[in-house]
Each structure stands twice: as structure tokens, then as C-alpha cells.
Amino acid sequence: MLDKEKESQHVQEKYVVRPAPLQAPPAHVELQNGQKHILNRLLWMQIFAYLNESDLSMCMAVCKTWNWWCLDRKLWTTIDLSRKRLKQVHLIGIVKRQPANLILVSSVISQKQLVWLVARLPRLQKLDLTYCSWATVCGLCSSSCPLLRTLLLKWAVGIRENCFRDLVLPPVDGRPGVLDVSRLSHLRNLDLSGCEITDQSLELIVQHMTFLEKLGLSYCMRLTDAGIETLFGGSNPLTSTIKELDLSGCNQLTDISVAFTFKSCSSLMSLTFKSCPKINRLSIQKFVDTFSPKKLIMNSTEMKIIVKT
């Protein structure tokens, strides 16, 4: 009896069992008479590249070989499931196709689903969660989140100062072999339009997103001139990387922010400040006319300043 208890308490050593390598897809479609179709896989793939998502899905139902071929990730660089309620079949289908761009505008997806999904998409470059809630977006706080290049959170519900801090800071569930850095540290394009971020949120951007080239802050009502000065003041790396900036609808910003941004950012090519009541059009036009380092052009209709190349 004691021997059996000892055996039950003994923990067997575990070994990692690697899966067998994937079998290469067949080069030809086998016809009913046993012969191979005259067109090989490479030629069919060039044809499939012209088809949209709906047509590709129809082709996958033709035969097993076409089903295999049509799952190639080169045919699914972008998957758009906007305004869909995502279920298990959707998640499995996305993982099989390994897209580089995933658009989930107004989609219904839980945090648990998003965590499971992004952990299985190591090649994901762009993620669009426009109009989603913080209950969904917080799934990106995991260490399994890939290093995105583009993240769109326009009008995401519930993203406030503390939520944004959790999103930007290095994840707390660190894993061996994973650097203790923000999972958003490689972002080139970030859009926070309509989010309830503050000037303190901009400090986090300066500290953890040093490669940003495009930044959308439109209708972030709590931003002030002090926040813009923090974003582009001193020797911040963003002053040499940022190319496009959208400050439309920020009702607390004044002419100071527009002038300071252009004076500080050497790579800035366009700045939009539409619907900013405290920004005087005549003052900005005078600044554009007298700015000497670059030739600036002001679009009075769109309230946008661009650099003439």
C-alpha cells in the first residue's frame, strides 16, 4: 500500500515532444482518371492571387488539394471581420491563414478570445480594434502579443489613463526568453482618436514608442499644450521619427502646439488641426508664411499644414 502511494506521489519527468514537420502541399491536382492536371500549383497560386476572400472560400470547397493551396498565408495578407461576432470557427480560420493585417472594427470578441488569437499570430503586423471596448483591448497586455507595427484604437470605449498605462508598460506575465519591454515598442503607426487619454499618457508614448512615424490624437479632449511639449520636447526620439500627426478636435490646444511641433520635429510632413476652437487660423497662416527651415503649405479647408517637397 505504501509503495503504491509513493508511486502516485512520484512526478514523472516531462519532455517536450516536437510535432512532425508539415507535409509539403501536392504540386498538382489529381483528376478522376488518375492523371495530373496540366497546371501545377505555382500557376494556380498566381490565379488565386486575383480572387477576393469570398471567391477563395468557394475555391476551398472544390477539392482537398485546392483547400490546401487556398490556405496559403500569401493569399490572406489581410482579413476583415468587421462587425462580426467572432466564434471558435472564426478564430481557427484566422490562425490557419496567418494574416499580416487583421481588421476587427466593431467586432464582438472577448479578452480571452483575443489573447488566444494574438498568441498564435506571430507574423501579425497591423491590428484594427476601432470601436471595440477596453474589455477586449486589454487582451493585448499579455506577453504573448506580437510586436505590432500598426495599432488602431479609434474611439475604443473605456481607454483611460490607467488602462493605457497597462497597455503600454511591459507585461507582468513575463516569459523566459522574452525581453522585458513594451509589446508596443515597435509601433510605427498608432491611432488613439477619441480615447480618454491625458498628458501623462503622452509621457508613456515618449518612453516606450520611440519608432512612431504616424500618430492620431484627434478628439482626445484632455490633451493640452503641456502634453504636446512633453511629446516633442528636448531630445525625445519622436522629434526625428514622426511624419504625420493628427490633432483634430482637441479643444484645449492652441497655436503654441502647432508652432512648437513644427519647430521641434525635423521629419514632420503633415499636421492636421481641424475643429480646434482655440487655434487661430490667421495666426497659423502667419506662422506658415514666415517659417524658414521648410516650405509649408496650409490647406484652410481641411485645416492641415503640409511640407512642400
Report residue 192: phi and psi, to 5°. Answer: -115, 25
Q: Indicate whether 241 pLDDT > 60.
A: yes
Other C-beta atoms within 10 Å of 137: how many? 24
Alpha helices, DSSP H only, in 169-280? 199-208, 225-232, 255-264
Compute the distance between CA of residue 137 and CA of residue 167 in angstroms, rounded to an integer. 8
For residues 258-284, average pLDDT: 94
CB atoms within 10 A of CB 93: 15
pLDDT (0 to 100) of residue 192: 98
Q: What confidence score (pLDDT) does residue 4 get? A: 54
SS3 assignment, position 263: helix
**Pairing mode of beta strands 214-216, 189-191:** parallel
Average pLDDT of the chain to the nearest whole number: 90
In what order do the strands lie in the sheet containing 101-103?
A: 78-80, 101-103, 126-128, 150-152, 189-191, 214-216, 244-246, 270-272, 304-307, 296-299
Contacts of residue 6, defined as CB under 8 A and 6 or more positions apart, other chains included, come to none
Residues ≥6 apart with Cβ < 8 Å to 96: 71
Q: All domains of the chain, ordered by start, with CATH?
A: 35-75 (1.20.1280), 79-307 (3.80.10.10)
Residue 12: pLDDT band by 50, 70, 90 thresholds?
low
Q: Is it the case that residue 9 has pLDDT exceeding 60? A: no
pLDDT above 70 (res 90): yes
DSSP class per residue in 41-110: HHHHHHHHTTS-HHHHHHHTTT-HHHHHHTT-GGG-SEEE-TT-B--HHHHHHHHHH--SEEE-TT-B--
- pLDDT greater than 70 at residue 178: no
Note the pLDDT of residue 94: 96
Angle between helices 161-168 and 199-208 (to 10 degrees): 0
Give the integer Cα–Cα distance in Å for 202 and 218. Answer: 13
Residue type, position 234, single letter: G
DSSP 285-304: HHHHHH--SS-EEEETTTTE
- Classify 148 as helix, strand or coil: coil
C-alpha distances in angstroms, 188 versus 68, 137, 213?
34, 19, 5
Q: What is the pLDDT of residues 27-49, one digit of tens each?
A: 899 888 888 999 999 999 999 99
Note the pLDDT of residue 152: 98
Q: What is the pLDDT of residue 258?
A: 95
Question: 190-221 pLDDT, tens per residue?
Answer: 999 999 999 999 999 999 999 999 999 999 99
Amino acid in position 218: S
pLDDT of 10 strictly over 80: no
pTM of the model: 0.88
